[in-house]
Each structure stands twice: as C-alpha cells, then as structure tokens.
Amino acid sequence: MLSIKTRITPLSDNRQLSLYIDTFETGINSISYELRSTDGSRLIESAQLQDYSQQTAGISADIQLKDLIEPDEEYELILLMNDAHGRQLRYYTRVIQRSENHVGEEIRFVKNFHEKTFDKEQASELAQYMETDETGDNTSYSYVNIHSNFNQITWGDLKVEKITEPQITITELFPQTARICLSYYVKIMTDNGERRCRVDEYYRLRYGIQRIYLLNYERTMTEVFEMERTAFNNDKIDLGIRDADVKEALQEMNNSVICRMCRDNGCVERMVANALMLERKGDRQGAIEAYRRIDETNPFHLFARAKLLYMQ
C-alpha cells in the first residue's frame, strides 16, 4: 500500500490538472484547493473551483495553477471538499512541473511491459530487460522480481485473468529516473475453485536517449481473504497466496487472541480470521470481543458488525 506522501502528480507545461472524484453518491457543496510547500508551512496559492461537472457517480474538474511555481520543485496540493453532511474532505498529492518531462513515454513502457507478462508469445521481448540469476526466488507467485526467471514473470502454469484495469501511481519523478506502481486485481483458478488476488507491480526506470532502461522490477500478489471461502485445516485458517515472511505476534488479552501483521492491508483480515477461529472453537465471548475490536477500529466492516449484532 502506498501512503499519500509517496504519490506524485506531474504537471503539464500549462500547469493544468484534470481530475475525477468518485463521490459514491455523496452530495458535494463546494470544492477548493490549496498549493503549499512540501512541509505545508508556506501557502503558494488557493482558490475556489467554480466550474466543475457533477454527475451521480462523480465529479470532473480542472485546476489551473498560476505561474507561481518553480520548475523541478515539488509542492503539496490539497483538494478540499465540503459535502452535504457538513464535513470537509481532504485529498493530498505532491505535484511537480519537470523541465524535462518523459512521463508519457515511461508510463507507456510500464503498461507495455505489464501487458506482455500475460502473453507468453509477446513476453519474449521482455528478456532484454530482465536480470535472471540464482538470487531470484522462483518458488512462489507471491513475490517476483527482476531476477526471477521467464516462467515466473509470465505467471507459469497459473490460470490467471485480470478483473480490473491497473491503477497507475507515480511515486518518484526525476529528469532521468522514475518509480511507477501498478495495482490491480486478478482471479486465478485452483483445485479449490476461483480465488481473487491483489497484485502490485513496482518499476524503477531510467530514461535514455535511445531507450528506457528497467533498473528494478518487483511484483507482489496477495490473496483476498473471503469469509465464504475460508478453509479450515487442523484448527488453522488458510489465508492463501501471500508473503511467506509476514510476521505474526500473538498475545493473550482478556482471554482472547489478537493477531498483528507487519503488512498494513493484512491486519483486519487476520483479526477476522482469529474471530472466526474463536467462534469455531466455541469461545463465544472471546469471538464477541474480537468482533467488537474490529468494529471499533473499522466501523465500516459490515461482516464484523453483522456478526456482533447476531451474537450479542
């Protein structure tokens, strides 16, 4: 998962930024923005957006920044929205206007590389960018990198199909180098049926006069934990494909078990897994306390809320 501070949005030569906001059918009364120094201490400019298009699903808008920014210097852009419930919503990104801008070519490179990993015939062209050697771990699809072999890069015999288009995020943008991330979901067919996984790809590129060089490539895949497909085996819950190095710490608290993970996106699913385990073992009070902790820290987790209401 990428934090707000790691994302950067390149600006065009005319400093215009087009955006789309998914409102999830929430009414928006006003939109404004602030452009600040990266530490937030200095306000460069601010304005109210008057001309934006609002539909049921979302809002389209254009921000025209003034000629107050320096080329090759990063700034923080804050989008402020006041909704129909009186709340102020804030979205953050870093912005930069590069004197040398190759981001269009770099994104095309990344998308082309990504698509060819799903096509073994076209993927032969990727060999020139790979650095396959003995350091590559070719035993698991949960982690693949630039040192992995061709079979691993192209998903081997895994029956994999993309179910979402990749979301592109730029995390680093310099005149000659860039870091670009892709995030998307796939489904795979296993002996136990269809499974859904989140995939994140990380590219580090260097722009050359004649070609773009791939300095690093990593791909992680983590299976989405789904309660209706939970597999119990010897009082353990199978969480499917994920990083083998995920660290757990179990500690007793109020006669129930809390499970922590080093991965941010795994904490909730492990808490749910422990609650299910306690329920399966007949520890009703322990399961209730576990579901209550999930509900307190994640109020929009509908499964935990339903379980809590049912068991109390």
- The predicted structure's pLDDT at residue 254: 35
DSSP annotation string for 187-250: EEEETTEEEEEEEEEEEEEEE-SS-EEEEEEEEEEEEPP-GGG-EEETTEEE--S--TT--EEE
Q: Which two tokens stand for residue 310?
A: 């049912």
- The residues of the chain scoring below 70 in pLDDT are 1-5, 225-271, 295-302, 305, 312
Contact 77, 46 (CB under 8 A): no
Contact 10, 16 (CB under 8 A): no
- The predicted structure's pLDDT at residue 294: 73
- The predicted structure's pLDDT at residue 150: 95
- The predicted structure's pLDDT at residue 154: 96
| Residue 95: closest CA among 33, 35, 31 | 35
Alpha-carbon span 29 to 108, nearest angstrom: 37
- The predicted structure's pLDDT at residue 275: 75
CB atoms within 10 A of CB 256: 18
Q: Please indicate, yes or no, whether the overall pTM of this predicted structure exceeds 0.75.
A: no
Strands 8-10 and 88-96, by their bridges, are parallel
Cβ-count burial 83-116 (b if 16+ within 10 Å, e if not): eeeeeeeeeebbbbbbeebbbeebbebbeebbeb
Please classify residue 128 by burial: count the beta carbons closer than 10 Å to its beta carbon, then call 0-12 exposed, 13-18 middle and 19+ buried: exposed
Q: Which amino acid is at 295?
A: D
- The predicted structure's pLDDT at residue 135: 85
- The predicted structure's pLDDT at residue 214: 96
- The predicted structure's pLDDT at residue 238: 52
At 118 the three-state DSSP class reads coil
